Structure formats: C-alpha cells, structure tokens
Structure 1
C-alpha cells in the first residue's frame, strides 16, 4: 500500500484539532448550567455563536483566497481558539442562595419548597436524605429576617437573656443563630423538604445548646425567611439555586466574560474548520471523494479524547458536589498546541484565484439545485443544534430523576462514552465509506437519508427514561453527521468556481451554522425551559420526518420536470472518480450542471 506522505500532516491536523476541542465543546452547555445559567440563557448564547461563524467563515475565507494567506490564518486562529477556551476556566460561577422558612410554633422546623422558577429537587439526593438511614447531626447557620416580637420569644422561651435588653441587639432586623437537625428526621411532604430542629445555639457555639421552643399559645406565629448554610454540602447544594432571572443575566460580569470568550473561541474554530477543509480539497486536487478518508481522523481524535475527558472529570470530581472541569482545559491546550506544530508542516499551494469572486459566488444562487442544497443545510443545522447543545442537558435531567445517585456520579463518563460511540461506531465508518455511499445513492438520496436519520434519532431520545440507553442510539451519528458532513463538504467543493474554494466552504458552513444551528439553539432553549427535553425531542422528531417526506417529494418532482441528471447534486468529476485513486487530473468543468 502506497502512503501519500504529503497528506499525513493533514490527517494529523484533523485528529489533533478534534482531539483538542472534544474535551470542551460538548461540555460547554453543562458547564454553563453548573455556573447557574438557565437553558434559555444558554440557548440565546448558542443563537449568537453560529452567527459569529456565519460572519467569520466567509469573511476570512475570502481574505485567505484574496491574499493567498490560508496557512497564516489557519495558524493564527488556532492560537485564538487556545487562548479563549483556556480563559473560560477562570470565570467564577453565579452566586447562589439557599433560602428556607423557619417555623417555631409548638414544633420547630425548617421548610424548603422550590419556587415555580426553580429547578425541581434532585431526586437521588432527596431520596438519600429522606431515607431515614442517616444518623448524623446536621448543623445549619441561619440568617433570618427578624420582627420585634421575635426577640421576646428568644428572650423568654429560648432563654437567651442577653437579648432581653434591646441595647444588646446590634441589628434588630436580622436574627442569626445555628440549628441542629437529626438527619433521620428529614421528610419530603407535598414536594417540600421538612427539617425538624432538635436544638440550637448562639454566639458561634460558645453558648450551651438551647431548645428552640415556641408555645402554641403565643399570639403571633413565629415564621420567617432565612438564608441558610449547612455543614453538609449535599444539603446546601440541594437548597442552593441561582435566582437570577433570564432578563437579568446580562447584568452579570460572569455572563459577559463567558459570552465574549465563547464568541472568540467559536470564531477561532469556525475559521480553522473552513480554511482547513479548503486546504484539504486543495491538496486532494482531482480526488475530492477522498475527503472522508482525511476527515475520519477527526472522528478518531474526538472519540478518543472525549472518552478520557469524561472519565477524568468524574474521577477528579469524586466526593465533590460539582464537576471539576479543570483537566479538560489542559487537554485542549496540549492537543491544539500539537496541532499547530503539524499544521505548520502542511505543504500546499493555492494555484487558482477568482478574478471576480463576488460574481462567481453570486452565480450559485441562480441555480435551484444549489438553493435547495442551502435550505437542506439549514434544516440539518436546526437538528444538529439540539444534539450539540441540549442532548447532554437532557441526559443530566434524566439522571436527576433516577432513584439512585450512581447515574449522576458517572454522568461525564456516560457522556464521554456517548461521544466515543458517535465517533467510532458512527462517524468513522461512515466517513470511510462516504465516497462509496455517495456514488451508490447520490447526493439527493443522501440528503433524504440524513433527515430520516434525525427524525428517528429524536423520537428515540424522547422515549428515554434511563440515560444509559442513549448509547445504542448514538450509532446513528454516522448517518446524521458522517453522511451529512461528507455530503455538504464535497458538494460545496464541487460547485465552487475555481479560486473561490475557501469562500464557498465558509459560505456553506455559515448557512449551516449561522442560520440553521443558530435558530435551532434559540428554539431548543425556549422549548427545553417550557416543556422539557423529552417533549422537545418529540416535536423536533415529528417535524423532521415531515421535512423528510417533503424533501423526497420535491426531488421526485424536480426529477420528473427537469430530468434525473438535472436534479442530481453531483458533478462528472464526482461520479467518475468517487472510488478511484489514480493520479490523472480530469479535464472536466467543476461548475454545477445547468
């Protein structure tokens, strides 16, 4: 077997760049969730990010074509990706608060009821706390709103004589003390957690333990709102929620730091991907059908590193209430830095230059077949957004509903396994076979197959009750991404007039992400917040299957009216050389058929 050594750095680039982005990109929505942002805020962010790609891809693609600076831009935007992603690690989370009701009337207890805008109680932690099997004493510091009559209760019934004299009360509006709670006395009543208070003390424990008792004969009912911090992290985290309204998120510096760094990193990735694909097709020359053989190494890199990333996050987070993502940022730093080294070794030259790029690109929009191809890219972008941004969110919500906590503990490992299956059982074989598939069924049928795959995949997601059952579904990534991306990239290369290759790759990517993924992110975020993950995937699945039927009907109509050759998204060079690897360059026109 003869190995083309000139293509080895290209394969290494796809492997290393995808290996570098795999530890971070899939986890960004869940990182945002852990920071305290809602699905609406995350969906809004992901509405803007693809628009950034829509602008930067054709803009810098045109600059690369115009000034023959593909490699320079390629390397500079890898640097931008590294810096912007790495800085995300240092952004602090949104401050959270834990509020409870303190009742003292015959019996004394704390009561926590989630508000309508709060996330539901974590089921596995709640079940563990209310099992009655824990014999520890929970200590919680209380900072409560105080009314004048409450100080009389503290003086008379709690026996804190120092507060009998108002001169000793430094802040009459706040009552601060510590409660002691037996953890086997925690109950779940009407979706509210009840903590029975067995005693308490003042002055940081220097006083003796008190019985916090209030007679039922008291004229006024002792009930107040309190901020609470407990010495059990599971309890504190269960009670803590971010009460930042969606409209107020933009007032937080954490939001803007996160948003700006994501914009920069998305711009970096967008240019690296589009320019990298253009370089790839330039190096392949007359054999664009071999694109899948290069791109499959990206799937290998993504699948390998995502598995290790998920496992390491879980391993390094054991015993912690939050996931520790530090390791994934260092993995990204190492892999993309290595990618810069091999990218510098790429040997290629852009031999053609369009004399009138705007005119050449504009001609594409006069072809009904190319316009329909763009519409298909938008539809696939809508579907892809839901998987990229909200699949892991959905899995974490499902895990929180499980009766035990094992699903939550190993959630990142599950997500890493899902990505590994996506790559090795899905993308890799389909990228490898993409040339053969496109020759056998044609671009039109491949596009229909992708829509059908998304529809079935979404309906399967909507029926999940156990998050681990997502693993066999991820094999469908081969159809919904492997076949899709090979079809999109190869057709974009085929229809590109000479000298506009980078521009067209950027334009197609911009339509896919800037219109499709952007819209899907916004719609998905709103639906997730209002109807939940299962119903959102069901709606998307049904609509996608309808689009599949419409796409088939339209193509059958075009085939009948214009003839089969007119309706095919292919060019002679694609059909003749799909499975050949000879070195002869065909003297064929690469423009789309009229």
Structure 2
C-alpha cells in the first residue's frame, strides 16, 4: 500500500508535466498562427505570389484550350506532357542544385523561364473560325447519336442542335475543333505544346527548391511552421482564381458558328494577372537564403552524394509510399485537367469555377494550420487514409451530380486530399534524409506527385473522357482510388520501415 501511495505523486507529477507540455504546444501553435515572424515573411510572400500565379491561369487552362479548339484527347496530351517533363527534369535539376550547391541560382533561372514561356502560351494567335465544316460535323453527329437527318446547308447543323437534349448538346460542344480552320488549328496545337515542354523544363525545380529552402531555414525541429508558410500559397491561389474567374466571366461573348451560338471568353486577362503575381515571386526569390548550403561551402565540406536519396526509395516500405503518391497524383491530374471542363459542360459560369477554387483552398488553408499538431498526436497513416478516402468521395460526387453547384460542398475534401497528404509526405520523407539532400528529395516528391502521377492521370483521363465521357471517367478513378487504399494499407502492415542508421549521408 505504501509503495502505491509513493507512486501516486510521481504519476500525478508526470501527468501534470504532460498537461503543461500539451498546453505549451497549443499556445505555441496559436502564437505561430497569428504572429508574422519577420524572418519568415519572405516565404509567406513567395508562396502567396506562387500560389496566386498558379490560381490565375491553371484552373482555366483546360477551358482555354477547349476554346482554342483542342479535343479532350489533345488537352489530355498537353496536360500530361507538362508534368511528365517535370518528372524527368525536376529531380535532375534538384540533384544538380544539391550537388553543385547552386539552389538559389537554379531557383531564379526557373522563375524567369516560367514567366517567359507561360506568357507565350497565353498569347498564341488562335485559329480562325469557319462554317466550312458544318456539313461534315452534321454527318458525325448523325453517326454518333444514331440520327438520320439528311438536311444540308449552313443552318442544317443548327436545326439538329436545337432538337438535341442538353446532354447531347454538351457532347457536341465537348470538341470544338470543327469550328476552326484545320491547318491553323494544327499550327496552334504545335505551338502550344512546344511552349508547354520548354516552359516545364525550366520551371520544374521551382516549387521543390522553394520548399527545400523554407524547410532548411526553419529546421526540422520547427517543421510545424512549414504549414503556416505553405498555406499562403493556398490563400493566393484561392483569392486570385476567384478574382480572375469573376473578371473573365465579364468578358463572355456569344459567337455564332454554323448557326450555333457558342460562348467565348477573353483569357488574356488570366495571363496579365499571372505576370503581376510573378513579379512578387521574382522579388521574394532574390531574398531566399540556403543557410546549410552556405555553411557547407564555407567549411569546404565534401559534396553530397545523391545516391543516398534514391537508395531510400528502393526499400519496399518507402517504395509503397512512392507508388501511393503516384496514384494520388494521377487522381489529382484528372481533377485538374477535367473537373472545370466537366463543370462548364454542366452549365457552370467562370465565377462558379472560381468559387470552387476558393472553397477547396479555404479547406487547404485550415488544414495547413492544424495538421502538424495532429500529426504529432495520431501519426501520419490516418491522414494518408483520409486523403485517399477523400478522392473516392470526390470522384463519386463528380460522377453522380448534374448540378454544378453541388460540387462546391465536396471540394472541402481538398483539405484532406492535398494539404493533409502533402504535409504528411513532407514530414515523413524530410525526416529520412539530411538537409543537404532536401533539393533532391523535394525534386523526387514533386516529380512523382505533380509530374509522373499528374501527367499520367491527365493523359489517361483525356483518353477516357473522349471515349467514355467525363462522368464515367470519374467512376473509373473512384475505383482506382479504392484499390490504392487497399494495397497501400496491406503493404504498410507487411513491410517494416528501415532503420535510419542504414541511410547515413554518403559523401565523396
């Protein structure tokens, strides 16, 4: 009895200490949320400009390409080639930047290159519209929809169009290539895909290098602050996509082709806003610092060997994370390439498309704020599972609904499918490599998720949308996400995490 009584004060003291630690952690988190630390202001500014630049253009690229006359398959190719190029070039540039210790120089080159080539895409001269393909398109409509209309002349397609159901009209307008002069349309497609490839080659390391610079500055012991910086990208993305969507919505004008009224918008607006955001990115990029890189140069440390990072992903445990990340990147690529396309086919305005971006970015911001304390309490696996479940739910809703306004509530799940998963990946992998390897590591993570995964998803999505339609494509990827959840969970149970001691830094 006496022993029990002696232990009670000790246990009570331990519980009190744990309580105080938890309270202090909570207070620290609250301070970090509401306090803008001067040394971190530059990262907030960079992420705001970077997210805003993406929000100005990327939500509208698929509908911009559609307006240029590209087919779903062509849009899938463009949307897929860009990240696939990023997958190949991103890790390469990241490893070169680590090896040669030129992260800042690489970052600035990437910034200027992205601005140059993306502006080029926005100002490619479009193909001219024509009424010469009306009869040919009427034959296609008859064969596709099983009609037997034998009318001819300029207005024949218009008379058939008016008799079609809403879904059949949407299917006719999914591919607008018949509205344009064929030779000019081929030229425009070639110019756009060339600019996309060149732009991605130089732009691919930018996001990875900025993340590695931010994490290197705050240190892994303060990694919870990463979320407070990264959320500014979501804030910039949501704000600028809403503003640009509203402005583009004001530029909508009807154009009559073959007697059918088709709405066209002025997407130059998006690229003007993009240039403005890139000025913020360039200014802040000049002020980035990489303290570990500077210290290594000053001390003449041996250059890091990039085999360290690549060796990490050869183990079954980490390889399964890589595969899961790839599949989630595929799902993200399909949504990026065809959700707004699908919404427009359902009758959504550019303002509604902008609102959907705002909703999912508010969800991202909230998740970035609260995710790291929760990771410390429950670990990383619950958030990976929630992320995959979020994709399943989103795809099911996209496939089921007919009113685009119903998409807004489900976009809240973007907080789990992107922000939660991205923070988990950052914490999990950055703890496995030394600071000298962060550029290479982030290049691999960005390359697999945004590059190989997103690119494959966009290309496969383009083929499936053209063959099956957008709704059936979303059902397919709901099933893919379910399979990903099952396989990832099984491998995590069976494959043990390698000991950290096996991956000590390799140097020359």
TM exceeding 0.5: yes
Q: Match of 1:418?
A: 356
- Looking at structure 2, the residues matched to 56 and 189 of structure 1 have their Cα atoms a distance apart, in angstroms, of 49
- Which of 293, 300, 307 aligns to 2:228? It is 293
Greater CA drift, 253-262 or 413-422: 253-262
The answer to which structure, 1 or 2, has the higher relative contact order (CA under 8 A, 6+ apart) is 2
Between Structure 1 and Structure 2, how many residues are aligned?
A: 443
> Which secondary structure state, in structure 2, belongs to the residue aligned with residue 97 of structure 1?
coil
User: What whole-Å deviation, never above 9, does each CA across 1:22-65 have from its counterpart, x for those lacking one?
Assistant: 11112111111110110111111222211211122112112221
Structure 1 residue ranges without an equivalent (≥5):
103-110, 121-141, 145-178, 193-236, 400-406, 572-587
Q: Match of 1:115?
A: 140
Task: Indicate the structure (1 or 2) with the bigger Cα radius of gyration.
Answer: 1
1:395 is aligned to 2:420:
no
Q: Match of 1:332?
A: 274
1:442-453 matched pairs, under 5 angstroms: 442-453=379-390
CA drift of 1:5 comes to 1.1
User: What whole-Å deviation, never above 9, does each CA across 1:339-369 have from its counterpart, x for those lacking one?
Assistant: 2112222344224566451331233134322
Closer/same/farther in 2, CA of residues 496 and 92 from structure 1, 3 Å limit: same
Contact 2:308 2:503 in 1 (8 A): no
CA drift of 1:445 comes to 2.4
> Which secondary structure state, in structure 1, belongs to the residue aligned with residue 140 of structure 2?
coil
Contact 2:85 2:197 in 1 (8 A): yes
Structure 2 residue ranges without an equivalent (≥5):
1-30, 146-151, 166-171, 256-262
CA drift of 1:447 comes to 1.5
- Looking at structure 1, the residues matched to 239 and 96 of structure 2 have their Cα atoms a distance apart, in angstroms, of 34
- Which of 423, 427, 438 aligns to 1:501? It is 438
> Which secondary structure state, in structure 2, belongs to the residue aligned with residue 324 of structure 1?
coil
User: What whole-Å deviation, never above 9, does each CA across 1:501-534 have from its counterpart, x for those lacking one?
Assistant: 1011101211223321121112100110011111
Q: Match of 2:218?
A: 284
- Looking at structure 2, the residues matched to 249 and 542 of structure 1 have their Cα atoms a distance apart, in angstroms, of 40
Tell me the TM-score normalized by structure 1. 0.68
| Larger proportion of helix | 2
- Which of 237, 258, 262 aligns to 1:302? It is 237
Q: Match of 1:376?
A: 324
- Looking at structure 2, the residues matched to 591 and 468 of structure 1 have their Cα atoms a distance apart, in angstroms, of 52
| Larger proportion of strand | 1
Contact 1:50 1:514 in 2 (8 A): yes
Q: Match of 2:193?
A: 259
Contact 1:495 1:591 in 2 (8 A): no
- Looking at structure 1, the residues matched to 133 and 465 of structure 2 have their Cα atoms a distance apart, in angstroms, of 27
CA drift of 1:9 comes to 0.3
User: What whole-Å deviation, never above 9, does each CA across 1:82-113 have from its counterpart, x for those lacking one?
Assistant: 111112222123344325889xxxxxxxx983
1:385 is aligned to 2:333:
yes
Closer/same/farther in 2, CA of residues 266 and 464 from structure 1, 3 Å limit: farther
Contact 2:87 2:451 in 1 (8 A): yes
CA drift of 1:553 comes to 2.9
Greater CA drift, 60-69 or 317-326: 317-326
User: What whole-Å deviation, never above 9, does each CA across 1:255-274 have from its counterpart, x for those lacking one?
Assistant: 12111222233334422101
When the two chains are superposed, the root-mean-square deviation of aligned CA atoms in Å is 3.3
Tell me the TM-score normalized by structure 2. 0.79
Closer/same/farther in 2, CA of residues 114 and 468 from structure 1, 3 Å limit: farther
- Which of 72, 88, 105 aligns to 1:55? It is 88
